Amino acid sequence: MTLGRWLPLVIFAALALLLAAGVWLSRNPNREALPSPLIGKPAPAFSLPVLHESGRLVSSAELRGAPYLLNVWGSWCPECRVEHPVLTRFAETKRLRVIGYNLKDERVDALRWLEQFGNPYWLVLVDYEGKQGIDWGIYGAPETFLVDGGGVVRWKHVGPLSDAIIRDQLLPQLTALDGRQ
Amino acid sequence: MIRWLLALMLMLAPAIAMAQAASDPAPLQFNDAAEERRFHALTSELRCVMCQNQSLADSNAMIAHDLRREVLALMRQGRSDAQVKQFLVARYGEFVLYQPPVAAKTWLLWFGPALLLLAGGIVIARIVRRRSGTGTVPADDRQEW
- Are A135 and B91 within 8 A, CB to CB? yes
User: Hey, which residues 13-42 in chain A have their CB within 8 Å of chain B?
Assistant: 32, 34-38
Is A150 contained in some domain?
Answer: yes
* Predicted local confidence at residue A14, as pLDDT: 95
List pLDDT tens digits, range A49-98: 999 998 999 999 999 999 999 999 999 999 999 999 999 999 999 999 99
Q: What DSSP assignment string belongs to A33-91? A: SPPPTTTTSBPPP-EEEBSSSTT-EEEGGGGTTS-EEEEEE-TT-HHHHHHHHHHHHHH
A139 touches chain B (CB under 8 A): yes
> How many Å lie between the alpha carbon of B50 and the closest alpha carbon of chain A?
6
Longest dimension (CA), chain A: 83
pLDDT in tens, chain B (145 residues): 667 666 666 665 555 444 443 445 568 889 999 999 999 999 999 999 888 788 999 888 889 999 999 999 999 999 999 999 999 999 999 889 998 888 888 898 899 999 999 999 999 999 999 988 765 555 565 655 5
Of B66, B92, B94, the CB nearest to A137: B92
- Are A139 and B95 within 8 A, CB to CB? no
- Are A34 and B50 within 8 A, CB to CB? no
Coil/strand/helix, residue A22:
helix
Alpha-carbon Rg of chain B, whole angstroms?
27
Are the beta carbons of A115 and A142 closer than 8 angstroms?
no
Are the beta carbons of B56 and B46 closer than 8 angstroms?
yes
Q: Which residues pair with B140 in a beta bridge?
A: none
Work out the number of other CB atoms within 10 angstroms of the CB of residue B115.
11
pLDDT-derived band at A29 (thresholds 50, 70, 90) equals confident
Q: Which of B122, B138, B140 is nearest to B130 (CA)?
A: B122
CA A19 to chain centre: 31
> How many Å lie between the alpha carbon of B72 and the closest alpha carbon of chain A?
13
CATH code at B18-100: 1.10.8.640
State which amino acid sits at residue A149: G
Domain count, chain A: 1
Is A79 contained in some domain?
Answer: yes
Q: What is the dihedral of CA B116, B119, B120, B122, to 10 degrees?
A: 160
Is A12 contained in some domain?
Answer: no
Q: Which of A57, A65, A75, A54 is nearest to A132 (CA)?
A: A57
Q: How far is CA A73 from CA A100, A130, A154, A178, B121, in A?
A: 7, 12, 19, 27, 54
Of A32, A130, A139, the CB nearest to B92: A139
Q: What mean pLDDT is predicted for residues A6-15?
A: 92
Cβ-count burial B2-26 (b if 16+ within 10 Å, e if not): eeeeeeeeeeeeeeeeeeeeeeeee
- Can you give the residue range of the structural domain that contains A126? 38-180
Alpha-carbon Rg of chain A, whole angstroms?
21
Examine the pLDDT at A181 and tell me if it is beyond 70.
Answer: no
List pLDDT tens digits, range A89-126: 999 999 999 999 999 999 999 999 999 999 999 999 99
Is A110 contained in some domain?
Answer: yes
Coil/strand/helix, residue B85:
helix
Is A45 contained in some domain?
Answer: yes
The pair phi, psi for residue A43, each rounded to 5°, is: -65, 150
Question: Which chain B residues have a beta carbon less than 8 Å from that of A35?
Answer: 93
Is A24 contained in some domain?
Answer: no
Is A66 contained in some domain?
Answer: yes
Q: Where are the domains of chain B?
A: 18-100, 102-135
Is A25 contained in some domain?
Answer: no
User: Which residues of chain B form beta strands (DSSP E)?
Assistant: none
Q: A97: part of which helix (H) or strand (E)?
A: strand A97-103
Determine the Cα–Cα distance for residues A22 and A145; give it in Å rounded to an integer: 29
Whichever domain contains A162, its CATH number is 3.40.30.10
Determine the Cα–Cα distance for residues B88 and A13; give it in Å rounded to an integer: 41
